[in-house]
Amino acid sequence: MELSGWSDERDDAAVREILLAAKETDGRPEVSPDGPLPREFDGGQHLLAGDSADGVPVGYVHLDTDGDSHGRQVAELIVHPAHRRRGHGLALAQEVKEHAAAGFRVWAHGDHPGAAKIAGRLGLGRARELLILHADVAKADWPEPTLRDGVTLRTFVPGQDEDAMVAVNARAFDWHPEQGALTADEVRAEEKQPWFDADGFFLAEDERGEIVGFHWTKVHEPVPGRFGGEPVGEVYVVGVDPGAQGGGLGKALTLAGLRYLAARGLRQVILYVEGDNAPALAVYTKLGFTRFETDVQYGL
């Protein structure tokens, strides 16, 4: 295996080849044969590994050098499925450990035992668990949302609501490693994605017409071998302004989005939630969600 060396420049063709192969085997990441690469691989630094015999790309690391909301650098490491179990993952992870700033984290999507083994050899421990929950729409009972007096729901208006929504998001997720850093420009960039649907982006307004909460839904295109090869809905983000919490607004927004996804004919819905967020887990369990997968961050 030969390493390219860390670079601020990304070899899009080689990275896309690795990501597409991983998607075919793992069902992730969400990447298409053309168009922009997933936003989580933008910026930062990049490391490519090639086969020493023919230079074919066999592995890739993206290091977010700006860091998450807590200032920790975060790495994504992907080994081409055809070149796994040959020590490439360990070698790339060792490169991350030697290069990244103190306190770094590395994602292991799907909590694969191979990743746990590599982490153990490098002295990295489980630092964070991000749970993927799943609900079967046919088995769910999602009633009409109930809003407290003075609060109304409407849908997102592109070009109008970005700043207000992001302000609520920042207050609602000031504790979150990624979500709290969302910017209005990033929202505008998502609006250009094929999956964006303003009709599935719900905003809660108070009696003054100010946004106090939101539920942004998403629909994933079918991926062979994942979720039965069907499209799947997602509770993408639910955020409530801290000053508006305590009156059931989060549940009402969640129900509005879930009912919208069900009305679109989707048979499955997923969501991501922190493994230590007991109150949210309790709410989602009552709504019919069960654990499906776990993504893990390893760190020192």
**Residue list for the binding site for acetyl-CoA:** 77-79, 238-240, 245-251
Bridge partner list, 136: 268
SS3 label, residue 62: strand
Task: Cite the annotated binding site by residue number.
Answer: 77-79, 178, 218, 234, 238-240, 245-251, 272
- Given a contact cutoff of 8 angstroms between Cβ atoms, the answer to whether 155 and 199 are in contact is yes
DSSP 16: H
- Given a contact cutoff of 8 angstroms between Cβ atoms, the answer to whether 206 and 245 are in contact is no
Burial state string for 94-108 with b = 16 or more CB within 10 A and e = fewer than 16: ebbbebbeeebbbbb
Report how far residue 102's alpha carbon sits from residue 67's, in angstroms, rounded to the nearest whole number: 11
- Given a contact cutoff of 8 angstroms between Cβ atoms, the answer to whether 108 and 119 are in contact is yes
